[in-house]
Structure 1
Amino acid sequence: MIDPVILQQGSDWRAQAEVFDEIFFVFLALGTLVGTIVVAYTLWNVYKYRDDGNRSDEDFDAPVVGELPTGQGGPKAKKLFLSFGLSAIVVISLVVYAYGLLLYVEQGPDDGTEGDIEIMVEGYQYGWAYEYPNGHTERGELIVPADQRIDLNITSRDVWHNFGSSDLRIKSDAIPGDHSETWFAVSSEDVEAQGGEATYRVECFELCGPGHSQMKSQVTVIPQDEWEEWYASTGNSSESASVQPAGAGLTAHSGVSA
């Protein structure tokens, strides 16, 4: 099993989007390679064993109904068991590899620090509300820092919704009276590539009413120092809402205000 610790990059963690992109690339590359080999071998056999009219029936070693290959019955059986063995190795390796990465995506990174930011997300017909640890609430836009894991605690005010972003590779149910959790992270390199501010579209992936198609939002990722300055200006000063550096610890608020 793949230890999630190997997914660290220094003090940072790999984003879900990077993990899913890697899984897709590995399956695509290996599937293309195996498919090319299988098709090429099949075509070679079609050509080699074609009926050119010069082969007698006595030379044809036809399979017998009910015959089970034992691995010792000549070249045919050995080739069969070799192909089964190689296929089993490839499939089992892929399952172990993908399962380890998907466990990391499901459980999220845990490096023992208290620096993760947990944000409450509440869906309603037809929008999204975000509440930060200091009680500040944003509607329609989630503003977060780069190079930091963002934990989302998701629920709904009215009917079933589904909070998701295709670009960030996150998707989680929003159920009235219940909470689901997911996380994401965006690197500063991705933010710089988008001109210093990265934006990702959020949609509802659960049919929730006539306004479902308009239930959109946005995740905005900005550099850490800019986010700290923005965050310090939000919330109630009596609640000691000043932001702390990454690693200092931010705890979740009890819920999203109506």
Structure 2
Amino acid sequence: MSGTIATLVTVLQSDGIIPRGSRVEVFDAIYWVFLVLGALVGIVVIGYMLYNAYKYRDVGETDEDAAESKKVERPKLGELPRGGGGGRKLFLSFTLSAIIVISLIAWAYGILLYVEEGAAEEPPTEQAEALEVQVEGYQFGWRFTYPNGHTVDSAVGDSFKVPADRMVRLNVTSADVFHNFGIPGLRVKSDAIPGQYTQQWFIAEDPGTNYTARCYELCGAGHSDMTATVEVMSQEEWQNWYEGTGNETETGDDGNQSDGGDDDGHALEDVLEEPVDYGMEVHA
């Protein structure tokens, strides 16, 4: 079934029926199509209502109108009306409306399949493979872990750096309560649930642009401050930064060492070994 859906999505994309590209391009295409069609439908419906309101306005009934009304052949109970062609017009209008609505639903569903499944299964671009990042929400910040183990934390002012024109795949989860990770400027929004992972993706196209990621699910007193900066860098600039982060799984950086050697660790041990005088005597 999934293979059939993927094939259908591919065919529709190749025909240009379903827009493809970044999430921004896809969702903007949906927005403009429904805006234009909605405006056209609104103009037709409201125009037809105003036309009938004017045509059948009450101008007072004359004797001639009353006599003409009596000549009208009205259907009896259990009989179908004949003549006039009104029934055929009504049936035709309903049929055309149903075809248009169903076509729009199928088109929108095809786009949804592309956003949720098709894009994730696309082969990597010529420049580089997709960048896979682990996103973990906690009260009250976001941690982003890159494939080499390097982690940045929004709570201490770190920015989430991503390369331009390259697919970024996010595996979103939470360390404590329910959160919701969203980047409106990139049309990204995903639940962050403890013990589960939800997948999202995006392609940022403009180097030098910063976006704001926020939590969109009330999660505590610091919810409004749970933000992160998404920094878009050129491919070369990002690659240089990424190579400079090193492989933290190999450096063994566990927070107990500093650039000056082991002095900090020994100093902490000396402090813990010194007796502490609280100014109190304890009697047995």
TM bracket, shorter-chain basis: 0.7 to 0.9
C-alpha contact (below 8 Å) 1:4/1:101 kept by paired residues? no
Query: What secondary structure does 2:185 align onto?
Result: coil
Q: Name the counterpart of 2:29.
A: 22
C-alpha contact (below 8 Å) 2:149/2:248 kept by paired residues? no
Write out per-residue CA displacement over residues 41-64 of structure 1, whole angstroms, 9 at most, x where no aligned residue. Answer: 222122222333343333667787
**How does 1:173-192 map onto structure 2 within 5 Å?**
173-187=191-205, 191=206
Residue 151 in 1 paired to residue 169 in 2? yes
Write out per-residue CA displacement over residues 94-124 of structure 1, whole angstroms, 9 at most, x where no aligned residue. Answer: 1011111111111251333381110000101
**Structure 1 gap ranges (5+):** 241-258
Most deviating of 146-155 and 35-44: 35-44
> Against the structure 1 CA distance between its residues 237 and 135, is the aligned structure 2 distance closer, same or farther, given a 3 Å change threshold?
closer
Query: What secondary structure does 1:134 align onto?
Result: coil
Q: CA RMSD in A?
A: 2.7
C-alpha contact (below 8 Å) 2:161/2:230 kept by paired residues? yes
> Which one-letter code corresponds to 2:26 in the other structure?
V
Quote the offset at 1:130 in angstroms: 0.3
| Percent identity of paired positions between Structure 1 and Structure 2 | 49
Q: Name the counterpart of 1:102.
A: 112
C-alpha contact (below 8 Å) 2:9/2:118 kept by paired residues? no
Residue 111 in 1 paired to residue 127 in 2? no
Q: Higher relative CO (CA 8 A, sep ≥ 6), structure 1 or 2? A: 1
**How does 1:133-148 map onto structure 2 within 5 Å?**
133-140=147-154, 141-148=159-166
Match of 1:58 among 51, 59, 70: 70
Could you say which structure has the larger radius of gyration?
Answer: 2
Quote the offset at 1:132 in angstroms: 0.2
Q: Name the counterpart of 1:249.
A: none
> Which one-letter code corresponds to 1:169 in the other structure?
R
Q: How many residues align?
A: 228
Q: Name the counterpart of 2:235.
A: 224
C-alpha contact (below 8 Å) 1:4/1:100 kept by paired residues? no
> Against the structure 1 CA distance between its residues 61 and 46, is the aligned structure 2 distance closer, same or farther, given a 3 Å change threshold?
farther
> Against the structure 1 CA distance between its residues 96 and 7, is the aligned structure 2 distance closer, same or farther, given a 3 Å change threshold?
same
C-alpha contact (below 8 Å) 1:135/1:236 kept by paired residues? yes
Q: Name the counterpart of 1:233.
A: 244
C-alpha contact (below 8 Å) 1:7/1:14 kept by paired residues? no
Give the structure with the larger helix fraction: 2
Q: Name the counterpart of 2:92.
A: 82
Q: Distance in 2 between matches of 1:126 and 1:112?
A: 36
Give the TM-score of the pair, scaled to structure 2. Answer: 0.72
Q: Distance in 2 between matches of 1:64 and 1:200?
A: 68
**Structure 2 gap ranges (5+):** 1-7, 252-284
Residue 132 in 1 paired to residue 146 in 2? yes
Residue 208 in 1 paired to residue 231 in 2? no
Give the TM-score of the pair, scaled to structure 1. Answer: 0.79
